[in-house]
């Protein structure tokens, strides 16, 4: 086994052995090498992948051949994902007259409790290489919680600017959800440190916004900027509701994020309402 001084697989030695005669290597060494190769996708030339796949597919061991197939599928899926995300960046870039484009989206329109939250994101659409793309972005509702958390961190680190705004349940009861929905989107866009030339919004226009605005039907599936805004807004609100669940444990906000699940409605009927419930939304429940 080719172990370096730090206890990790020695990539270069293993690679040399592999290219010389793969049968000399243990399966576990080859598997570790392939995993490292996948993790360095953007720094590895296509020729090397093709060479490794050819070598592994010619090995006599079935489990090594399966590694070859796994690596082939990985490359295919990565190429597909890069092309998908590129198309989302290109969608935003078609507004070529604009220097800075912000995507904005909201989450929390329908819950029985908690605030409505919106985010605005400005991406670097003139990326230099595929490595600069934020892979995996899409409608936040189609992502698992763990993937959203990871993507939110990546988005915040790679975005040129982002801003998150919220409007609490009291204001929702006072002004109505439609007004608050528009207002939270406006606040998210207006609060950016970088003044965008254009704001892309999901589904409908943002009223009273002193910035040019284009609304995109199903924008979180088409626009990279809107998808990123959708993700960081969702993560922010879910984390906030988890914090509220510590203060109001009876309603299990950590599981339902304030939405009207059967468990949540039963808790309202049993314990009454708490400070973050939207009373207007509860007319048919209490």
Each residue's pLDDT tens digit, 7-16: 455 677 778 8
Residues 207 and 125 both lie in one domain? yes
User: In this predicted model, what pLDDT tens digit does every residue of 46-86 receive, in sequence order?
Assistant: 899 999 999 999 999 999 999 999 999 999 999 999 999 99
Examine residue 158 and state whether it is found in any structural domain, yes or no: yes
Same domain, 235 and 137: yes
Q: Which parts of 99-211 fold into alpha helices (H)?
A: 145-158, 169-175, 177-190
Does the pLDDT value for residue 212 go beyond 70? yes
Return the CATH number at 130: 3.30.420.10
- Is 106 annotated to bind a ligand? Reply is yes
- Pairing state of beta strands 198-202 and 101-107? parallel
Domain count, the chain: 2
**Residue found under tokens 């010389």:** 20
**Of the candidates 283, 254, 70, the residue with the CA atom closest to the CA atom of residue 268:** 283
Between these two residues, 15 and 29, which has the higher pLDDT value? 29
Whether 229 and 133 map to the same domain: the answer is: yes
Query: For position 9, what pLDDT does the model report?
Result: 56
Same domain membership, residue 127 and residue 19: no
Looking at the structure, tell me whether residues 73 and 164 fall in a common domain. no
Is 131 found in the same domain as 237?
Answer: yes
Q: What is the pLDDT of residue 34?
A: 92
> Is 6 marked as a binding-site residue?
no
Q: Is residue 54 part of a domain?
A: yes
Model confidence at 277: pLDDT above 60: yes
Q: Would you state the pLDDT for residue 1?
A: 39
Res. 163: pLDDT tops 80? yes
Q: Which is higher by pLDDT, 25 or 104?
A: 104
Domain housing 34: 11-92
* pTM strictly above 0.85: yes
**Does residue 116 share a domain with residue 187?**
yes
Q: Which of 42, 74, 92 is at the close of a domain?
A: 92
- Residue 20 annotated as part of some ligand binding site: no
Same domain, 137 and 26: no
Residue 4, in any domain of the structure: no
Q: What local confidence, expressed as pLDDT, does residue 98 receive? A: 77
Q: Is residue 281 domain-resident?
A: no
For 237-248, how does the pLDDT look when each residue is reduced to its tens digit (9 = 90+)? 999 999 999 999
Residue 276: what are its φ and ψ, rounded to 5°?
-100, 5
Distance of CA 1 to the CA centre of its chain: 38
Identify the pLDDT of residue 2.
Answer: 42
Q: Would 279 be classed as within a structural domain? A: no
């Amino acid at each position: 086994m080719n172990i370096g001084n730090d206890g990790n697989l020695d990539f270069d030695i293993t690679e040399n052995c592999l290219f010389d005669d793969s049968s000399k290597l243990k399966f576990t060494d080859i598997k570790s090498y392939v995993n490292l190769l996948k993790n360095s996708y953007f720094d590895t030339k296509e020729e090397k992948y093709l060479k490794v796949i050819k070598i592994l597919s010619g090995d006599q061991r079935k489990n090594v051949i399966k590694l070859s197939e796994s690596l082939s599928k990985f490359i295919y899926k990565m190429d597909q994902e890069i092309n998908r995300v590129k198309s989302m960046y290109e969608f935003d870039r078609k507004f070529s007259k604009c220097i800075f484009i912000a995507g904005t989206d909201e989450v929390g329109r329908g819950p029985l409790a908690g605030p409505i939250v919106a985010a605005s994101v400005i991406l670097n659409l003139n990326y230099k290489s595929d490595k600069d793309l934020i892979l995996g972005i899409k409608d936040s509702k189609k992502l698992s919680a763990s993937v959203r958390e990871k993507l939110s961190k990546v988005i915040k680190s790679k975005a040129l600017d982002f801003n998150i705004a919220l409007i609490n349940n009291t204001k929702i009861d006072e002004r109505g959800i439609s007004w608050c929905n528009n207002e939270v989107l406006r606040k998210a866009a207006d609060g950016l440190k970088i003044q965008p030339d254009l704001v892309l919004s999901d589904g409908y226009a943002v009223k009273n916004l002193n910035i040019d605005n284009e609304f995109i039907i199903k924008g979180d599936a088409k626009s990279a900027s809107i998808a990123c805004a959708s993700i960081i807004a969702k993560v922010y609100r879910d984390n906030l509701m988890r914090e509220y669940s510590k203060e109001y444990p009876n309603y299990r906000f950590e599981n339902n994020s304030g939405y009207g699940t059967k468990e949540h409605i039963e808790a309202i009927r049993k314990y009454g309402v708490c400070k973050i419930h939207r009373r207007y939304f509860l007319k048919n429940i209490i």
